[in-house]
Structure 1
């Protein structure tokens, strides 16, 4: 099965040698499922010809906001609607979670409560899962028909299931503690309040359930379900 990865942001340049770009992180996360991967750097205006270019699609995270004025955002939203209409499975993470919601009629905003950084606990139907997060924006109003699959007190719509079509999550199962630690230094200081950065650093080492979300993604790609 070929998974097309739509890259909507760039990893910090100094981390690429050790961690790879976002498509490489997702390829590692989903390794062992028999998938082949091809990435399109849509953040640089590079798009596939259409949904037929892959059997399933994944949209990465990004430092950009879905409400910003970038030339590549309107065609990305149209591609999302085309993928949805084609019936090919679609997965979104962080920015991907948000842009899919926006493209399908939802609303995304900067959350008044500020940032979620580092290990966060989310209530899923089968129990609490801890996954790394890095975001201030949130889905405020989900699209019609989207089912809430995970939430916590800070992020009400942390995972959304669009039955038979898409599965999206706000946290980052592809981010390990080392990457989060580097983001704190490279992108957090002066942007995220110091107390939240320190709390995130203190929480590093908490056992993560990233593999659970990876299994959900793989199951959705192959079976259109997450459990």
Structure 2
């Protein structure tokens, strides 16, 4: 049986990694399947060659503390590789930075938003296009998700379908074709992880006009992200 591939684009803080693992560990924990069914490929290691997409049952591209506007060489390599997935039937999901990388790979635009970071437990609304979508139809019309990001997809790729939005960031989820999706929010996070992020960056959030205490008070346990990841795993046939 084919494995799932996690494409690692960054690492979380050491303080979070001690209790929750790194981004790939969070994804595995939320997926409901064992670690042995995953391979992890570090996209930042330019000594490595990207694997063939059709070798895998599915692909998940992680978040990162890096920004796409850094335009590092490995980021362009990642986007070039993402384009090769189009000609396969390999289900692919990009998360946060992975969402933005997929959007840019297909011709979208990513940049900082004028109104600052989107952080915490945030409501999103799924558009009518999501109702019959193989992946996102399992979520409610409106639900809350965990967020922490400063950059966004500010222009959709031509031909892409917008699936979810909110008043803070209009591009919350995208379908690119029959087997490739991305979301700005973090389905692998739980409320404890987001709380760590808020506490770690409290001073910065204050300078951005956000109230860390208020963000913490709004956090609630929620399994929406787990539900989405498990549906993706189901689509992958595992």
- TM-score normalized by the length of structure 2: 0.85
The 3-state SS of whatever aligns with 2:193 is helix
* In structure 2, C-alpha distance between the alignment counterparts of 1:72 and 1:34, rounded to whole Å: 26
Relative to 1, partners in 2 of residues 1:69 and 1:191: Cα closer, same or farther, differing over 3 Å? farther
Higher relative contact order (CA 8 A, sep 6+): 2
Write the mapping of 1:114-153 to structure 2, written as runs, cut at 5 A. 114-124=116-126, 125=131, 126-153=140-167
Counterpart in the other structure of 1:2: 3
Relative to 1, partners in 2 of residues 1:179 and 1:34: Cα closer, same or farther, differing over 3 Å? closer
Q: How many residues align?
A: 223
Relative to 1, partners in 2 of residues 1:133 and 1:20: Cα closer, same or farther, differing over 3 Å? same
**Superimposed CA distance per residue, residues 7-32 of structure 1 (whole angstroms, 9 cap, x where no aligned partner):** 00111112212111111111111114
Relative to 1, partners in 2 of residues 1:144 and 1:221: Cα closer, same or farther, differing over 3 Å? farther
Q: CA deviation at 1:43?
A: 2.4
**Which residue of the other structure, out of 52, 63, 66, is the alignment partner of 2:68?**
66
* In structure 1, C-alpha distance between the alignment counterparts of 2:39 and 2:9, rounded to whole Å: 14
Counterpart in the other structure of 2:193: 179
Q: CA contact under 8 A between 1:56 and 1:89: conserved in structure 2?
A: yes
**Which residue of the other structure, out of 42, 45, 48, is the alignment partner of 2:50?**
48
CA RMSD of aligned residues (A): 2.2
* In structure 2, C-alpha distance between the alignment counterparts of 1:129 and 1:35, rounded to whole Å: 31
* In structure 2, C-alpha distance between the alignment counterparts of 1:53 and 1:62, rounded to whole Å: 24
Q: CA deviation at 1:169?
A: 0.6
Q: CA deviation at 1:110?
A: 0.5
- TM-score normalized by the length of structure 1: 0.89
Unpaired runs of 5+ in structure 1? none
Q: CA contact under 8 A between 2:190 and 2:222: conserved in structure 1?
A: no
Counterpart in the other structure of 1:215: 230
* In structure 2, C-alpha distance between the alignment counterparts of 1:196 and 1:171, rounded to whole Å: 20
* In structure 2, C-alpha distance between the alignment counterparts of 1:122 and 1:50, rounded to whole Å: 34
Greater mean alpha carbon deviation, residues 198-207 or residues 90-99: 198-207
Counterpart in the other structure of 1:76: 78
Counterpart in the other structure of 1:25: 26
**Superimposed CA distance per residue, residues 156-215 of structure 1 (whole angstroms, 9 cap, x where no aligned partner):** 110011231311111011111111111112244325635342331121126452233223
The 3-state SS of whatever aligns with 2:86 is helix
* In structure 2, C-alpha distance between the alignment counterparts of 1:188 and 1:56, rounded to whole Å: 36
* In structure 1, C-alpha distance between the alignment counterparts of 2:143 and 2:30, rounded to whole Å: 16
**Which residue of the other structure, out of 159, 170, 178, is the alignment partner of 1:164?**
178
Counterpart in the other structure of 2:213: 198
Relative to 1, partners in 2 of residues 1:208 and 1:165: Cα closer, same or farther, differing over 3 Å? closer
